[in-house]
Structure 1
Amino acid sequence: MNYMKTGMLLAALTALFGVVGYFIGGATGLVIALLVAGGMNLFSYWNADKLALAAYNAQQVDERTAPELVGMVRELAVRAGLPMPRVYIIDNPQPNAFATGRNPENAAVAATTGLIRMLSREELAGVMAHELAHIKNHDTLTMTVTATIAGAISTIAQFGFFFGGSHRENSGGFGVIGTILMVILAPIAAMIIQMAVSRSREYVADRQGAEICGNPLWLSAALAKIAQGVDHIPNEEAETHPATAHMFIVNPLSGRSMDNLFSTHPATENRIAALDQLARSMGATPAREASFIGGARRTAGPWGGAGRPRGPWGRGPWG
C-alpha cells in the first residue's frame, strides 16, 4: 500500500509539473517543462549523493579511521542483504543521519559526530539499520526525484510570473490573477506532495530497520534522543540547505515536527509508538527493554555485550 501511495504521489507531482508548463507555454511549454525535468533528474540521478555529502562536508571513513562504526554498518548490510555502502561522518554536534545514492550498489550512509557521541551502540545500530532500509527500498532515488521536480516546479512557476502564460493575452485580468495564483499555489502543492512522499517512506524504513537490527526498541530509543537533540542543537548546514531536510532520519530544521501536510517527517512520537507496538508483537515490552537500552544493564546482542563502552565509535577527528 505504501508503494502504491508513493507511486500515486510521484505521478501527481509529475502531473503538476506538466500543468505548470502548459499554463505558461501551452503544449510547447509542457514539452519544454518535461524536457527540463528529465535533464534535472538525469543530473540528480548521477550526482545527488556527491552534492548531498559535499553540502555537509562529510568525510568518508573506513576500518582504520572508524572501525566500530564501519564494522557495524558492514554487519547490518549483510543482515539486510545489501552491498556494503560507503560510510561517512559529518562533523556536526546535532545528532542525525541520512542515506543517499542512486541504488544499493552506489549508496552511502552518513552520521553526525553528535549522533555517534549521544547514542548507545544498540541505538546507533537501529539508526544505521533505518538508513539501510531506505537504501534497500530505493527511497534515496525516489526522494531525489521528488526534490528535483518540486524544485523545478517552484522555479518554472516564478518564470511564468515574469513571462506570462500562453493564454494571458486572451484572458484579460483573469490571466494575470491566474498566473499569480499559480506562482503561489503550485510550489505549495509541490511541497505538500514531496513531504507526503517522504513521510510515507519513513514509517516503512522504521519497520524494516527494526527488523534488520533485530530490536525495534533500539530505534525507538534513538528517535527519542535524536528528536530531543535536534530540538536543542541547531544544524547550520541544514538551515543553509533546507531542501535536504527530508533526507535525515529526523527533520534537522526543527525538533517539533508535526504530522501534518507541511512536515517532512511523521511526528516522532507517532513513529516511536509504532515501533513500540512492533516490539510488543515481537514479544518485547518498552518498559522492560528501556531499562537497558543505553543504560547500565546492557544485554549481549549482535553488536557486543554488556561490557562494551558507549561511543564514540571510531578514532581520529571524530573520536
Structure 2
Amino acid sequence: MRNHLRTFVLLAALTALFVGVGYLIAGPSGMAIAFLMAVTLNAISYWNADKIVLRMYGATEVDESHPDRLIANFAADVHELSDRAGLPRPRVYLINSEQPNAFATGRDPEHAAVAANLGLLRMLDRREIRGVMAHELAHVKNRDTLTMTVTATIAGAISALANFAFFFGGNDRDRPGGVIGTIALAILAPIAAALVQMAISRHREYGADAGGAEISGDPQALASALQKIEAYARGGMINHQAERNPATSHMFIINPLSGQGADNLFSTHPATRNRVAALMKLAEGGGAAVSGPRRAGTAVPVTPAARGPWS
C-alpha cells in the first residue's frame, strides 16, 4: 500500500510537471491544453501500454510451437513460471537485439506481455533465463508494468514539449518567464522528469528481484544473470532501439543505454552489485527454495560466458 501511494504521488508529480511546462509555454491556455494532453496520454497508455512498447521495439510473438528449440523452450519456461506464480499466462515476445535484456508490459496481469532480446537467449544459460523471466513476471504480479509504461509516456512527452518550447518559442518575450524561462524550461524539465522516472523505477527493481527469486526458487540464477547482462551491456553491445527511445530504459531488467554509472541519483536502476548482494543474502538465508535443475555454489563472475545447453 505504501509503495502504491508513493507511485501515485510520483505519477501526479510527473503530470503536474507536464501541465507546468504547458503553462510556461503558453500561459493558462497552454496549461489547459497540457492537462488535456496528459489525460489523453494516460488513457492511451492504459489501454495500449503493451502495444505501444512492443511495436516500438519491433517485438515478435512466439510460443512453444516455434521451430527453433531455444525459443520454444523459452516460451514454455515463461508459461511454466507464470503458472507457478499463479498468474494468467502472458504473451511472450522476442526482440531482434543482440544485447541481452528483457522487460514486461501490459495494463494488468490479464493483459500482460513479457519480452526478451534474442541476445538473452544466446548468451545466458537456461537457469539464468528463467531467473530473468521470473523477475519480469514479478513486475507483472506487483502490477508495475502499467506504471512503468505510463511513466515512460509522460516523461517522453515532457522532453518533447520542452524541446518544442526551446526551438519554436525561444524568441517569444511575452510568454511566462520570457526567453530565460524558456531556456531554463528546456534544460530543467527533462531532468526533473528523469528524476521522477528514476525514483519510480529503482525501488521497484529490488521488489521484482525478490519476487523473481521466489517465483523461480533460484535467487543465485538471477544474480548470475544480472552480472552477465551488465557485463555484456557495458561491453559495447548497443541496444539501438533503446537508444532511440531512452524514456523506456527503466522498463528493462538492466539499463540498456550505454554509459550507465553506479548507484547514484541519475541511475534508472540500482547498482547491479547491490542487487546481486541482496539476492545472495536471500539465497544464504533460505528466503527462496531452490527448485531449479541444480544449485550453483556462487554467482558467475562479471565476464561473459558461453551459453549452457538447453535440456
1:98-137 superposed matches below 5 A: 98-137=103-142
Letter of the structure 2 residue corresponding to residue 26 of structure 1: G
Structure 2 residue 183 is matched with structure 1 residue 180: yes
Distance of 1:214 and 1:289 partners within structure 2: 10
Letter of the structure 2 residue corresponding to residue 6 of structure 1: T
Shift of 1:255: 6.5
Quick one: structure 1 residues 283 and 175, their matched pair in 2 at CA, closer, same or farther if it must change by over 3 Å? closer
Distance of 2:308 and 2:228 partners within structure 1: 14
| TM-score with structure 2 setting the length | 0.85
Shift of 1:312: 5.5
Q: Tell me the secondary structure at the aligned position of residue 57 of structure 1.
A: coil
The aligned counterpart of 2:82 is 77
Letter of the structure 2 residue corresponding to residue 280 of structure 1: E
Shift of 1:140: 1.4
1:1-319 superposed matches below 5 A: 1-65=2-66, 66-161=71-166, 162-163=168-169, 169=174, 175-232=178-235, 233-254=237-258, 256-282=260-286, 290-291=296-297, 310-311=308-309
Shift of 1:83: 0.4
Shift of 1:311: 4.3
Q: RMSD in angstroms over aligned alpha carbons?
A: 2.7
Letter of the structure 2 residue corresponding to residue 185 of structure 1: L
Quick one: structure 1 residues 311 and 98, their matched pair in 2 at CA, closer, same or farther if it must change by over 3 Å? farther
Distance of 1:269 and 1:292 partners within structure 2: 14
Deviations for 1:232-283, whole angstroms, at most 9, x for unmatched residues?
2222222232222222111111374322222221111111111112222226
Distance of 1:169 and 1:243 partners within structure 2: 31
Shift of 1:77: 0.6
Give unpaired runs (5+ residues) of structure 2: 289-293, 302-306
Quick one: structure 1 residues 43 and 311, their matched pair in 2 at CA, closer, same or farther if it must change by over 3 Å? farther
Quick one: structure 1 residues 63 and 293, their matched pair in 2 at CA, closer, same or farther if it must change by over 3 Å? farther
Q: Tell me the secondary structure at the aligned position of residue 266 of structure 1.
A: coil
Letter of the structure 2 residue corresponding to residue 82 of structure 1: L
Q: Tell me the secondary structure at the aligned position of residue 206 of structure 2.
A: helix
Shift of 1:226: 0.8
Q: Tell me the secondary structure at the aligned position of residue 93 of structure 1.
A: coil
What is the aligned length? 294
Distance of 2:133 and 2:175 partners within structure 1: 56
| TM-score with structure 1 setting the length | 0.83
Q: Tell me the secondary structure at the aligned position of residue 174 of structure 2.
A: helix
Deviations for 1:109-165, whole angstroms, at most 9, x for unmatched residues?
111222112222221111001000111122111011111111222233334443479
CA contact (8 A) 2:149 2:248 kept: no
Distance of 2:110 and 2:233 partners within structure 1: 31
